Amino acid sequence: MSSKVVAMIETFDYDCDPWLAPFWAPFGLRPWHDGVGVGDDRFEARFGFVRLSTSITNISDAHITRGYRWWTAAGVRLSGADDGLTFGTNARAGVCIHFRAKVPTILRRSGHSALTVTVSDLDGLVRSLPAFAD
């Protein structure tokens, strides 16, 4: 008899505001399927056909942000100010995750230094991300 150890993955669903669906639906978001996964060694965010995945050790910071303008919070958005990325489903609140090294996606091969995700369990996501000392 053999045994196999499977890495634990904690998942976080998006907090979807239905009236913003016209802005996130074109990206193929499936709220019952997509979300954020945090494992022992990987971080992955799925938003329809757009995905961002990196080593958990590449995360340098994570904090809750609130009070977005709806037109900048819905759907997949590139930041106008920097190389950040948003996977947004509501304008209330999200978690902004910063990376040590930029993480590429299909939207920007040169990578993103931060990702904001509007998940239901904001505090849980922040707690699930290890704090790494600089």
The H-or-E segment that residue 9 falls in is strand 9-13
Residue 25 per-residue DSSP state: G
Alpha helices for 1-69 (secondary structure H): 21-24
> What pLDDT score does 7 carry?
61
Per the DSSP assignment, residues forming a β-bridge with 99 are 59
> What pLDDT score does 134 carry?
44
Low-confidence residues in the chain, pLDDT < 50: 1-6, 133-134
* pTM tops 0.75, yes or no: yes
CA dihedral (128, 114, 77, 93) positive or negative:
positive
> What pLDDT score does 132 carry?
57
